[in-house]
Chain A
């Protein structure tokens, strides 16, 4: 089975992140706190609660080398947490936003992080040694709506964003004194901070979840109209592919190799997309137990479930602990999956990853020995 571990940590999880050695997991249980769990004697125990935000925490990222946690929240602020002894010490980062912060990601070199917000702006934050202070530089007036996701190119300069205006954009985030000349690639060598490299206008509805492939050659993002978009040659003349699928829309994506993408979303079951030898992307199969083949009864049951909800047969009465995993439709997650994080990288490939969602579970998946899938890894 592809799902190797299922942890019911909370009623609902907005986002999660792993410590560098993956012995600890941080997540937000749909409130203003971040809980850190550690594996102690085969049991996951709560070891820290990070309390500083006033409102729901929407983004967590744990840097791999410097062991720092960055969190962002609807309260429009961000904190960088450093472990000092047994304590996690927060440093406030004033983002200068007038709307909620929605997502955050450390840059590959971990000297900057990017925050997407509901204020139609992206903040690029970096540490100023002389002032002992995190500075936030804004990319303004480029987005027409909330920024739902940010993704760093491996070169530490280019940043891709998706927005509820349906567009995916790529910016240069070159900051003097932080980035050096040699860290720039030829394609972005002339661009200043905040300069838009390309705007992709493929989706007619909200865009979510953007990621670069390990090499940075391909970009993938999803639309709220059950479409996924793959873009090669990101630059003046990008090559785009639109892939429509028959299921509910996706919320986030992850490249596990140059030729394979995992998409997660409202269908509660990770979907595998892969490119064939000619570079044509297509849907391969579901990663969970449910078969990709269609059946009318499936939709029948989904419709009757919806009617059931209309007539007040709400599922909220059930205690989450009593719900057996993989009971609903034979899949592991029982609600929308909104976060996917890679685990244990082996070179450019990711064989393990974890997902979390509105059902409060963190699920670890392994792609080893998965039929069809291993051909593309």
Chain B
């Protein structure tokens, strides 16, 4: 193969694929019983990190950046004047195998611009995955994009070779979608998601009866939303996300701060900052919902449609619900421990393990690794020393902020001074 030509294509098609945030390579279990190439043990590996700090785990490329759609937020939109290229199926397979053998990557993340039709594109993507699995004996991770509008038969086949499938809904609200991507319909995004969800359930059922049932998309489905492109509130985003988690059993929803790429007046202009802090708060909320047992309505509702910028969502919730605190770490059950600001799940498990042996005091808790400065206002332990003052939420917030070393301090301090 001609390395120069490949290099040129790789530059174009990797550059176009980089706005897809997902890079996870976890959640799939493929062993390597026949001494072929590769396995995935369930735990993902980030083989490198870009200079913006995102993980590089998969070879993330587009099959082509030719596209018949004209979505305002996308770099590969039809009306954008950029270099176009397309990979051959063998080229993608070859690159994947050679990168994988050198331990550069965990596998392949293949997406594509839509050329000719949805089915024609999906067919190509499936062909790559099929060739990797059947001809090359590759057991690494494969993430395929489900092309909106692709037929059920193709989606079914895709799941047999891929570990994860994803459709990016990109715009959380219907009105935003209408504004920025008038040729796309929400139903087209949803259709492949429903198909894959049903297939996953069906294959799991069958697997229970017949052990040799093949795996179907073992790492599940994910999706992605762009943040800050259409003026939606945090509540809009998280309720949409919650809906997708609940109705389609998604493994992950990714939030991607909009990186300005066009002079379109419907969008934030080139040069405006990427909303990274907001993105971070949304991920924190996402974690609270999935791992900490919070309900979305506790964190975001009509009274609080947006997340606080200066403090994390769990602390923000705690300050609104001071009546449930202080919590006794030596007695409270797991769910309540997880609700203490400054105590993460790792610490929760350590506390539960350790308190079986003796009552824990501040020294123990600090050694275990809780964020003492935040947590001390909300807990009591085996010590006569605890917060006795009757502090208001505002006071606690100020005390905590005064001691915080947050890397974002500059960001929200600037914002505050603007309004003063």
Tell me whether A and B are bound partners: no
What is the interface of chain B, defined by CB distance below 8 A to chain A?
A: none
Residues of chain A at the chain B interface (Cβ within 8 Å): none
